[in-house]
Amino acid sequence: MIERFLMNTHYIVLIGVILLLIIGFFGALTKRNLIKILIALGIADTGVNLFFITIGYISGKTAPIFSKNGLTASQMVDPVPQALVLTAIVIGVAVLALGLSIIIRVYEHYGTLNVSRIKRMRG
Amino acid sequence: MSLNPILMIAVPLFVAFSIPLLGYIHKKAGLYAMSATLLFNTFLSFSTLPHAFEKPIRVIIAGYKPPFGINLAITPFSIFLACLISLMGFIVSIYLLKDETTETQEKFSMLILLVVMGATGIVLTGDIFNMFVFLEIMSISSYALTSIRKDRKGSEAGIKFLLVGSISSTFLLLGIAIIYNQLGTLNMADIARRFSQMNPKLAFAAVSFLFLGLGIESEMFPLNAWAPDVYQGAPAPVAALFSAVTVKAGLYAMIRFLYTISNNSSFIKLLMLFGIATVIVSELSALKQTDVKRMLGYSSLGQIGVILFAVGIGTKTALEGAVFHFVNHAVLKATMFLSIGLLAKYAGGSSFEELKGIGKKYPFLAGVFAIGALGVMGFPPLNGFMSKLMILTAAAKAEHVVLVMLVLAASVVEGFYYFRVLQVMFREPEPTRIEKRSVSLAFVIPLVVLVGMIVGIGLFPGVLMPYFKGAAMDILSRGDYISVMLSGGGAL
Closest partner CB to A98 (pick from B143, B228, B232): B143
This model of the complex carries an ipTM of 0.90
A51 vs chain B: nearest CA distance in angstroms?
7
Q: Please check whether residue B333 is in contact with residue B368, taking contact to mean a CB–CB distance below 8 angstroms.
A: no
* Domain-located, residue A122: no
pLDDT of residue A5: 54
Q: Which residue has the higher pLDDT, A3 or A23?
A: A23
Question: H/E element holding B59?
Answer: strand B57-60
> Could you read off the pLDDT of B206-244 as tens digits, one per residue?
999 999 999 998 888 888 888 888 998 888 889 999 999
Q: What is the pLDDT of residues B127-161, one digit of tens each?
A: 999 999 999 999 999 999 998 888 888 888 999 99
A4: distance to nearest CA of chain B, Å?
23
| Number of structural domains chain A divides into | 1
pTM, entire model: 0.93
Q: What residues contact residue B344 under an 8 Å CB cut-off, 6+ apart?
A: B236, B292, B293, B350, B354, B355
Chain A / chain B CB contacts < 8 angstroms: 101
Cis peptide preceding B67, ω within 30 of 0: yes
| DSSP H/E element including B459 | helix B441-459
pLDDT in tens, chain B (492 residues): 467 888 889 999 999 989 888 888 887 888 889 999 999 999 999 998 888 888 888 888 877 777 787 888 889 999 999 999 999 999 999 988 887 766 667 888 899 999 999 999 999 998 999 999 999 999 999 999 998 888 888 888 999 999 999 999 999 999 999 999 888 888 898 899 888 888 888 899 999 999 999 999 888 888 888 888 899 888 888 999 999 999 999 999 999 999 988 888 888 888 888 999 999 999 898 888 888 889 999 999 999 999 999 999 888 899 999 999 999 999 999 999 999 988 888 888 888 888 888 888 888 888 999 999 999 888 888 888 888 888 999 988 888 888 888 888 888 898 888 888 888 888 878 777 777 777 788 888 999 999 999 999 888 888 888 899 999 988 888 888 888 888 765 555
Which stretch of DSSP H or E encloses residue B169? helix B152-183
Asked if A120's CB is within 8 angstroms of B153's CB, the reply is yes
A20, part of any domain: yes
CB A113 within 8 A of CB A94: no
DSSP letter string over A64-94? Answer: --TTSTT--GGGB---HHHHHHHHHHHHHHH
The pLDDT assigned to A97 comes to: 94
- Mind telling me how many Å the CA of A80 is from chain B's nearest CA? 9
Mean pLDDT across A44-72: 80
| Secondary structure E strands in B369-449 | none
pLDDT at B184: 85
Most distant pair of Cα atoms in chain B: their distance? 70
Q: Which of B133, B157, B177 sits opposite A121 (nearest CB)?
A: B157
Q: Name the residue facing B152 among A81, A94, A109 (closest C-beta).
A: A109
Residue A67 resides in a domain = no
8 Å CB contact of A51 and B174: yes
The whole-number pLDDT of residue A6 equals 53
Is the CB of B186 less than 8 angstroms away from the CB of A91?
no
User: Taking CB atoms and an 8 Å limit, are B159 and A103 in contact across chains?
Assistant: yes
Consecutive H or E run containing B54? helix B29-54
Give the residue numbers spanning the domain of A10.
2-61+72-117
Rounded to whole angstroms, the Cα distance separating B81 from B470 reads 12
Cα–Cα dist A81/B469, whole Å: 39
| Domain membership flag for residue A66 | no
Contacts of B165 in chain A (CB under 8 A): 95
B372: enclosing H helix or E strand? helix B363-377
Chain B: nearest CA to A81, how far in angstroms? 8
Does B111 lie at the interface with A, CB-CB under 8 angstroms? no
Query: Which residues of B are less than 8 Å from A83 in CB distance?
Result: none
CB within 8 A of B14, min separation 6: which ones?
A: none
CATH number at residue A84: 1.10.287.3510
Handedness of CA A105, A109, A114, A118 (dihedral sign): negative
**Which has more pLDDT, B326 or A57?**
B326
B7-25 and B106-124 helices cross at what angle (nearest 10)? 170
The answer to whether the Cβ–Cβ distance between A24 and B170 falls below 8 Å is yes
**Candidate from A38, A105, A123 with C-beta closest to B155:** A105
Angstrom distance (rounded) from CA B81 to CA B112: 17
Biggest CA pair distance of chain A:
67
State the Cα angle at B78 between B172 and B263, rounded to 5°. 55
